[in-house]
Amino acid sequence: MINIKRLTPQPNPSNYTNYLSAASYWSFSDVEFMHAALALAKKGATKEEVPVGAVLVHEGKIIGEGFNQPILSCDPTSHAEIVALRGACKGLQNYRLPSNTTLYVTLEPCTMCLGALIHSRLARLVFATQEPRAGMVGSQLNLAEMDFYNHKIEVNSGLLQPESQKILKSFFKARRNKKKKK
């Protein structure tokens, strides 16, 4: 069975050291890579895409990264996780990820993304905040725990959750305000 570790959201840290002391489960690298994913989410927001960012990491190096871009690419499958997977797999010349690869993503994956992560043999998934409408790693259903999959992913959630929620709320507030002006 999959082991999901959910941590209580912590106040916004003034620096990494304070954050790590507040939530000792997370390593410095975890925080660093989630900040990279948050930066990608912000980049997506500037392009009017839903602000989700993802980075794939193996042995301390980013091997793939992406932000949501279905509107830009006219491709409904261009979620941040899929874009990161495509980049990593193309660079590796393999559809399977190396062992011990971790994906850091700012929002809980949907059905499509989780399926791709399982098939790519991802070792660990770290997501910042839950997706109450379509999250498939616990919010709606936990597909990662289904017995019919022969690969299991370690799942951790809650890292930099307040920061991710702030980006998402700001984006959707701006989108609603823009619609009101029309």
Most distant CA atoms of the chain, gap in Å: 50
* Spatial distance between the Cα atoms of 7 and 131, rounded to a whole number of angstroms: 16
Shortest CA distance to 63 belongs to which of 33, 107, 27, 43? Answer: 33
Q: Which residue positions form the known binding site for Zn(2+)? A: 79, 110, 113
Query: Rounded to 5 degrees, what are φ and ψ at 20?
Result: -65, -35
Q: Which residue positions form the known binding site? A: 79, 110, 113
The one catalytic residue in 81, 108, 131, 163 is 81
b/e per residue, 66-76, with b = 16+ CB within 10 A? bbbbeeeeeee
Q: For this structure, is 48 an active site residue?
A: no
Active site residues: 81
